[in-house]
Every structure is written in structure tokens, then in C-alpha cells.
Amino acid sequence: MYEDKTLICKECGSEFIFTAGEQEFFASKGFVNEPQRCKNCRDARKNASRSDRETFTAQCASCGKEAKVPFRPREDRPVYCSECFAKMREEA
């Protein structure tokens, strides 16, 4: 039903392939517009907004290692590093 399409990125002007699988995925999500940017430009645009995020340093309440978190730690709440947080989620 779907066939690969060659599209032009509006950001960098390079050609990219909009695969049949991607088209099927877009349709399943209800998207009607084709992508306007290639994968590299989409990723660059997405990461540009992430770099503005402020991070804070805290000590992990479980293992004691340094943890970087996207919120200001409070004294009354424990903070966990990514590894300890993932372990806690698996156990729950």
C-alpha cells in the first residue's frame, strides 16, 4: 500500500527517504502531513531545546553517588541516581 518517497528537507535542503514503514506509522498515529525535515535536522532541533534545561547535583539517597537531576532537590525528599531509580521501579 505504501511506497518509499523521496522528500526534501526544508532545513538543510538534502533529500531523505520517507519509508513505507514510517508512512504506515504516521498513518496509525493519525498524522496527515509528511515530515518536513530529515532525521539529522529533526534530532538537532529536538536536542537544541534540551540543552536549555537546567540540571542540579544531588547525592543519591541509596548508593551515595552524585546524581544530576532536572529539578531542585529538597531536604525533605530523597533523590536517587538513574541506576538506583531504575532498580526501584523494577522492584515495584
Residue 74 in 3-state DSSP?
A: coil
Q: Are residues 37 and 17 in the same domain?
A: yes
Is residue 30 packed enough to be buried (19+ CB in 10 Å), middle (13-18) or exposed (0-12)?
A: exposed
Hey, what's the cell of 26?
Answer: 504516521
CA–centroid distance for 78 within its chain: 25
pTM of this prediction exceeds 0.85: no
Hey, what's the cell of 9?
Answer: 528537507
Q: Are residues 45 and 13 in the same domain?
A: yes
Q: Are residues 10 and 38 in the same domain?
A: yes
Q: How does pLDDT run across 23-80, given as a tens digit for each residue?
A: 999 999 999 999 999 999 999 988 876 666 788 999 999 999 999 998 999 999 999 9
**How many structural domains are present in the chain?**
2
Give me the pLDDT at residue 51, please: 61
Instruction: State the chain's maximal CA–CA distance in angstroms.
Output: 57
